[in-house]
Structure 1
Amino acid sequence: MRSVASRFAPYQELAEHLLQATISEPMDAAHDVGHLLRVWGNAERLMAEEGGDRSVLTAATLLHDCVHVPKDSPLRLSASSMAAEKAGRVLDSLNWTAGDVEKVRHAIEAHSFSAGIVPTTLEAKILQDADRLDAIGHIGIARCFHVSGQMNRPICDLFDPGADRRALDDRAFAMDHFQTKLLTLTGSFQTATGRRLARVRHDKVRDFLNGLLEEVLPDAMTVSH
């Protein structure tokens, strides 16, 4: 993991230690080391314009998914709080100050879409934006279909793929997740830089969905927003 940890310079030693706490948990391809590196890359872009404490964001990024809870688990809503608790224990063992531990814990708790916690610190806002950027755009599309495939969800409803005459249900169809979540995220970004980057990725998701709708059912209604 040294090559991965080196991406977090000048905190590569911290990163190498914290990676062990994360990879000790089961991981899927949508929440793996690649996801951590992409979120970190997003965080670096945000920090370049917004500022933020790099050590806090290093720890928060590496530990934000350190407790793995499957998407269909009844414990899913508690995943970020469980990860925050574990992160606190890990950082306490490294003799971090109580104030910095709390900053990391809050950032991890608030990053989750499911938890619905409003981030109140710059670092928490950056982590939430960085994580949500990885949920949209081309990588967000790939992750959506990967998770849906793991759960044996079909791509779409055969007769109403755009949900024009039925309620959306992303637990039943992968395509429904575009309208129930992916295309709703842009308005939730916390930083000006995050909002700018999200708009570009949002448009890619919208265009992909419209193209997919045209292919699965030629007269399907497209999405304008």
Structure 2
Amino acid sequence: MEKLAKIIAYTKQQLQTDLTGHGFDHAQRVATLSHKIAKAEKAPVDEIVLLASAYLHDTIDDKVVADVDTACRELQQFLLEIGLSAQQQEEILFIINNMSFSKELTGKVSLPLAGKIVQDADRLEALGAMGILRTAYFGGGHQHPLHDPAIKPITFTDKTQYRKGSTVINHFYEKLFLLPEKMNTQTAYREALRRQKFMESFLAEFYQEWQPENIDLTELE
């Protein structure tokens, strides 16, 4: 518990100024979801590896930190200082370096079971009400248009193109609605489908509000 407390404190410090939707609150939810999925699946995983990966997964992400190499070195030193075994350190770093959606654009990496669960939990955070808000928040912060019917969704093939993005609404089709079929566990898959249905209902309402019935100018005096 002492090691986990230090991991939580480190995460909070690293992510306390995040304005991309990948802050400490996100890390907490990913950790909670990871724990719930592992319990539901009766997964034989190292709890420290599971929760450390969940809490720390965005502390070295290029969406969040300006210097990824420095962030990686600092995290490696931290894991060593708190007394994790070499195997635990290696597995945690492998998971958080290979679990992202953008990483899969250049080839899917086979994650250990703990990594698959954390990956599922992180992807659930991109769905449902939380996913809608985080998508809008991130898109607005990166000057992505909210919606433009003339801009069609893109099938991304590389990380650079993916990072540029297109529109907030297109992101639902470019990534978010692809996630349920990418889930590693049945527990996460079921929850992903539930969240996707909510998002589909939201989009139906959005399109209705985006394009209201035009004003009949002939009725105006």
- TM-score category, normalised to shorter length: 0.7 to 0.9
Contact 2:20 2:141 in 1 (8 A): no
Query: Aligned runs of 1:124-163 on 2, under 5 Å?
Result: 124-157=115-148, 160=149
Deviation at 1:110, TM superposition (A): 2.5
CA distance in 2, matches of 1:190, 1:98: 26
Q: Which residue of 2 aligns with 1:21?
A: 10
CA distance in 2, matches of 1:185, 1:84: 27
Contact 1:135 1:141 in 2 (8 A): yes
Deviation at 1:153, TM superposition (A): 2.4
Query: Aligned runs of 1:49-128 on 2, under 5 Å?
Result: 49-50=40-41, 51=43, 52-70=45-63, 86-116=74-104, 117-128=108-119
Q: Hey, which bits of structure 1, 4+ residues long, moved more than 4 A?
A: 81-86
Gaps of 5+ in 1: 1-10, 220-225
Structure 2-normalised TM-score?
0.78
CA distance in 1, matches of 2:73, 2:198: 36
Contact 2:76 2:89 in 1 (8 A): yes
Aligned counterpart in structure 2 of residue 42 of structure 1, from 24, 29, 33: 33
CA distance in 1, matches of 2:165, 2:147: 11
CA distance in 2, matches of 1:174, 1:216: 14
CA distance in 2, matches of 1:85, 1:108: 14
Question: Tell me, what secondary structure is at the counterpart of 1:114?
Answer: helix
Gaps of 5+ in 2: 155-163, 214-221
Q: Which residue of 1 aligns with 2:190?
A: 196
Contact 1:155 1:173 in 2 (8 A): yes
Structure 1-normalised TM-score?
0.77
Deviation at 1:113, TM superposition (A): 0.8
Contact 2:49 2:88 in 1 (8 A): yes
CA distance in 2, matches of 1:124, 1:83: 20
CA distance in 2, matches of 1:110, 1:196: 24
CA distance in 2, matches of 1:126, 1:198: 13
CA distance in 2, matches of 1:199, 1:92: 39
Contact 1:39 1:61 in 2 (8 A): yes
Deviation at 1:172, TM superposition (A): 3.7
Contact 2:147 2:170 in 1 (8 A): yes
Question: Tell me, what secondary structure is at the counterpart of 2:102?
Answer: coil
Alignment partner of 1:205 is 2:190:
no
Q: State the identity as a percent.
A: 28
CA distance in 1, matches of 2:186, 2:53: 21
Question: 1:208 is aligned with what amino acid?
Answer: F
Deviation at 1:29, TM superposition (A): 5.3
Say how many residue pairs are matched.
197
Deviation at 1:16, TM superposition (A): 3.0
Question: 2:183 is aligned with what amino acid?
Answer: F
CA distance in 2, matches of 1:86, 1:129: 26
CA distance in 2, matches of 1:108, 1:84: 10
Q: Which residue of 2 aligns with 1:8?
A: none
CA distance in 2, matches of 1:179, 1:82: 34
Aligned counterpart in structure 1 of residue 22 of structure 2, from 31, 40, 53: 31
Compared CA separation, residues 185 and 218, structure 1 to 2 (3 A) = farther
Deviation at 1:94, TM superposition (A): 2.2
Contact 1:88 1:102 in 2 (8 A): no
